[in-house]
């Protein structure tokens, strides 16, 4: 597995873990029962363990991908969607200010999206995810 693939999947997993952490802290979701928090934390721990597995020589990162492909592919799709949403939100906020500001170039974000979509095609779509 190439370093780019590992990097993108790790970023996607980190993103997913942050989403779960924010969910756990959401005041609108008053977890009256601790088992919800426990399950969310268990999922965060699992995600972090998988991300660590992508960076370690043991087990083989390709094996980590094969065993967790559905989670990795769903995380990757969410990551791509959120990158696109954030880019559009920033553009909207800039354009809706009192004096319309020039559009920001998102060169790094666009490259990240392109790379993530290429990886998604070869690592997810070709495997039915």
Q: What pLDDT does 111 receive?
A: 97
Distance CA(21)–CA(15), nearest Å, equals 10
Q: Which residues of the chain have pLDDT under 70?
A: 31-33, 57-59, 98, 100
- Please confirm whether the linkage preceding 59 is cis (ω < 30° from 0): yes
- Non-local (6+) Cβ contacts of 71 within 8 A are 47, 50
CA angle 44, 45, 48 (to 5 degrees): 85
Q: State the pLDDT at residue 100.
A: 67
Assign residue 128 a region (left: φ > 0; alpha: ψ between -120 and 50; beta: otherwise). Answer: left
How much is the pLDDT for 53?
85
pLDDT confidence of residue 36: 84
């Amino acid at each position: 597995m190439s370093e780019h693939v590992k990097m993108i999947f790790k970023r996607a997993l980190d993103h997913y873990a942050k989403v779960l952490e924010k969910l756990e802290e959401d005041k609108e979701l008053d977890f009256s029962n601790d088992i919800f928090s426990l399950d969310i934390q268990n999922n965060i721990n699992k995600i972090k363990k998988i991300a660590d597995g992508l960076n370690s020589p043991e087990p083989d990162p390709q094996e980590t991908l094969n065993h967790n492909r559905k989670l990795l592919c769903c995380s990757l799709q969410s990551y791509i969607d959120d990158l696109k949403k954030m880019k559009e939100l920033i553009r909207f906020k800039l354009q809706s200010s009192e004096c319309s500001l020039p559009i920001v170039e998102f060169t790094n974000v666009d490259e990240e999206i392109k790379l993530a979509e290429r990886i998604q095609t070869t690592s997810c779509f070709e495997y039915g995810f």
